Chains A and B, each alone.
Chain A
Amino acid sequence: MIVLFGIPSESPLAMVAGALAEDGTDFLVVNQREVLGNRMELRLDAAGLQGQLSSPERTLALESIRGAYLRPMDDQRLPEVVNEPPESVLRQRARGFHELVVQWAEVTPATVINRYSRMGSNFSKPYQAQIISGVGFAVPETLVTNDPDAVLEFRHAHGELIFKSVSSERSVVKLLAENDLQRLDRIKHCPVQFQEYIPGQDFRVHTIGDDVFATLVESSGIDYRYAATRVGEAPTLTAVSLPERIESLCVRLAATLDLEFAGIDLRRDPDGRFVCFEVNPSPAFSYYESHTGQPIAQAVAAHLSRRREIRRPPRGDGGTTASATAGSVEELALADPSQP
């Protein structure tokens, strides 16, 4: 039995549900918005971990769950809850269920994508960068400081800089412009993260266990995620293969972070060097799959079921959406310059 927890209409959850249905796998979508209908009981004693999970649809023994895909939104912002007073029953029910699911996910022997404890490194970008670097990836030169003079020295050493949040909140990348230098004194109140600007091609790599799906993202924006709204041009996505060493490093990085499923952001600089920016522990893969046809949902479903056969579309026969040019792009898998 596989459990999906979140909002059924949310694209990644819906796509994994579709893949499980297609495979004939028994699964239950626990709709987070069924605040009054969901319930969990958990017992831990000398016999081990037992209990049950109930939704309006079904009741399951916790021991029967082999895999879980967790995509809940903040339970206190659910439409059913957001306008409720702080002590309302609905709020408490939403919180109680969410908390217990999270606690269960930490201790169940089931395959969980992903346990909350494993998702934490993304909360601090420079902390995660230290781990990324330890695995063997290049990371951008980074300075976190509240000293304006240090920023100017860093800029002198590295040229153009970007700045972004240290945490995962309000994480929008911006170039440090001349007019930003006029207000640099404001960083004295809270350290800010600055990074060398690295030009090049963006890649999003999804790893599911040992499976790797790499996507080339071509965009004229500094941060391609916001390119459509900021520069009026949606990115173009293409399924690609990366050098074997880079794909292996991606798998090793996800394993080091103990992530069953990860979205890894890489950029290949003009010298051909792959630089890793960050690892997203709860990737919204549907955007990439819908533009390239990469069978990511199917891989997630197979991983949850512990089946390994992924039906990849033949090269050259990928996605066909308006802004995508998916398909066989082996020629884009340029040689890794760090390889002999």
Chain B
Amino acid sequence: VQWRHRVGRGSPSVEVLLPDGDQLRSGEFSAVLNRVIAPPLAGLARTSGEDSAYARSEQIAFSLSWLRALAPLVVNPPTARGLAGAWRSSVEWRSLGRAAGLDVEPLVRESLAPEPASVFPQLPPTGMVIGDEAFGAAAEPRVKAAAIRLSQMAETPILGLWLSADRHRRLTMATPHPVLSLGGKGGVAALERVLGA
């Protein structure tokens, strides 16, 4: 794959020449559905140690920039905390969820018993927001408006939420990279609307 990514006086641009001869050029798309979690790093297999870590950083930093330049609208927008939207700790998601008006599962964290910043439940998210529409548990009238508000506050138009199974529907965690099938056909239509298709 050949890359040419420009930033400067004009609009940022990216041109990608694929191995089969196809080309992608920014300016040819009005919107992009972004599901990139990480750039392909297979090419770094021959590097090791600090060189490998450096090359990995370079690839991720490059992806962050060209994804932003690919189209006027990229959903979810790439961020420095995640190429397809920011990954946040459960502390942060619950704090943001509380500010958005959701009930949140109480949480206690202790530095002597650390757990990774992002601990994801075993099962997929129970609710999802796409733009200004909610699906699954997030579509229930009690939480719908707050779930959409959380997605807006997080600047993450596509957002998966883990909401408790009880009547309170308390937020425990969220992800910028939910399985889209949770939205069904309605989810596809919501994606079309978000992307302006």
Question: Which A residues are within 8 Å of any B CB, using their own CB?
Answer: 38-46, 48-49, 92-93, 95-97, 99-104, 106-107, 117, 120-121, 123-127, 129-130, 133, 138-147, 150, 165-170, 189-191
Instruction: State whether A96 touches B61 (Cβ < 8 A).
Output: no
B191 proximal to A (CB < 8 A)? no
B60 touches A167 (CB 8 A): yes
- Other-chain contact of A43, B81, B96, B106 (Cβ < 8 Å): B106
Query: Nearest Cβ distance between residue A338 and chain B, in whole angstroms?
Result: 13
List 14 contacting pairs A-B, 8 Å CB cutoff, sorted by A: A38-B111, A39-B111, A42-B108, A96-B111, A100-B109, A120-B79, A124-B60, A130-B7, A133-B8, A141-B7, A144-B4, A145-B4, A167-B61, A190-B58
B7 touches A126 (CB 8 A): yes
CB within 8 Å: A-B pair count: 173
B140 in the interface (beta carbon within 8 A): no
Asked if residues B106 and A150 are in contact (CB atoms below 8 Å), the reply is: no
With A106-B92, A142-B7: A125-B61 Cβ-Cβ less than 8 Å: yes
Report the Cα distance A139→B88, complex, angstroms.
31
In contact, B106 and A133 (Cβ under 8 angstroms) = no
- B111 & A127 in contact (Cβ 8 Å cutoff): no
Min CB distance, A231 to chain B, in Å? Answer: 25
- A124/B8 contact (C-beta < 8 A), A117-B86, A191-B3 known: no
A127 in contact with B80 given A144-B3, A191-B62 (CB within 8 Å): yes
Does A165 contact B58, Cβ atoms closer than 8 Å?
A: yes
Is there an interface contact between B112 and A93, defined as CB atoms closer than 8 Å?
yes
User: B185 near A: Cβ within 8 Å?
Assistant: no
Question: Which residues from A are CB-within-8-Å of B116?
Answer: 99
**CB within 8 Å of A: which B1-31 residues:** 2-9, 12
The digit string for B95-128, where 1 denotes a CB below 8 A from any CB of A, is: 1101000011011111111101100000000000
| B159 CB-CB contact with A under 8 Å | no
A282 and B197 CA atoms in complex are apart in Å by 41
CB–CB B43/A103 < 8 A: no
* Contact A106:B89 (CB < 8 A) given known A45-B107, A141-B8, A142-B6: yes
Counting chain B CB atoms within 10 Å of each CB, the highest count among A49, A129, A139, A169 belongs to A169
Answer whether A96 and B112 are a contact pair too, CB < 8 Å, given A106-B91, A107-B91, A189-B43: yes
Report the minimal beta-carbon distance from B63 to chain A, rounded to whole angstroms.
Answer: 8
Q: B65–A44 contact, CB under 8 A? A: no
Most-contacted residue by chain B among A40, A102, A124, A130 (CB, 10 A): A124
Contacts of B79 in A (CB 8 A): 120
A19 to B58 CA separation, bound complex (whole angstroms)? 38
With the chains together, A38 CA to B91 CA distance in Å?
Answer: 20
CB of B64 within 8 Å of the partner chain: yes
Q: How far is the CA of A190 from the CA of B59 in the complex (A)?
A: 7
- Name the contact of B104 in the complex, choosing from A44, A168, A191 (C-beta under 8 A): A44
Q: What 17 additional pairs, Cβ within 8 angstroms, besides A147-B4, A190-B59?
A: A44-B95, A44-B98, A45-B104, A45-B107, A48-B98, A93-B111, A106-B88, A125-B61, A129-B65, A139-B9, A141-B7, A144-B7, A144-B62, A145-B5, A150-B4, A165-B54, A191-B58
Contacts of B44 in A (CB 8 A): 190
Closest to A133 in B: B7
A12 to chain B, nearest CB (A): 22
Residues of chain A lying within 8 A (CB to CB) of residue B65: 124-127, 129-130, 144, 166
B-side contacts of A99, CB under 8 Å: 111, 114, 116-117
Across the two chains, which residue of chain A brings its CB closest to B116?
Answer: A99
Instruction: Let me know if A144 and B5 touch, CB within 8 A.
Output: yes
The contact of A40 among B89, B103, B111, by CB within 8 Å, is B111
Q: Chain A contacts of B58 at CB under 8 A?
A: 165-167, 169, 190-191
Whether A146 pairs with B107 at a CB distance below 8 angstroms is no
Q: A147–B3 contact, CB under 8 A?
A: yes
Which chain B residues border A144 with CB–CB below 8 Å?
3-7, 62, 65-66
Nearest CB to that of A151 among chain B residues?
A: B4
Are B109 and A121 within 8 A (Cβ)?
no
With known contacts A96-B113, A170-B54, A107–B61 Cβ distance under 8 A: no
A142: B residues at CB distance < 8 A? 6-8
Set of chain A residues within 8 Å of B96, measured between Cβ atoms: 107
B106 interface neighbour in A44, A107, A141, Cβ under 8 Å: A44
A32 to chain B, nearest CB (A): 12
Knowing A104-B91, A142-B6 are in contact, say whether A130-B111 is a contact too (CB < 8 A): no
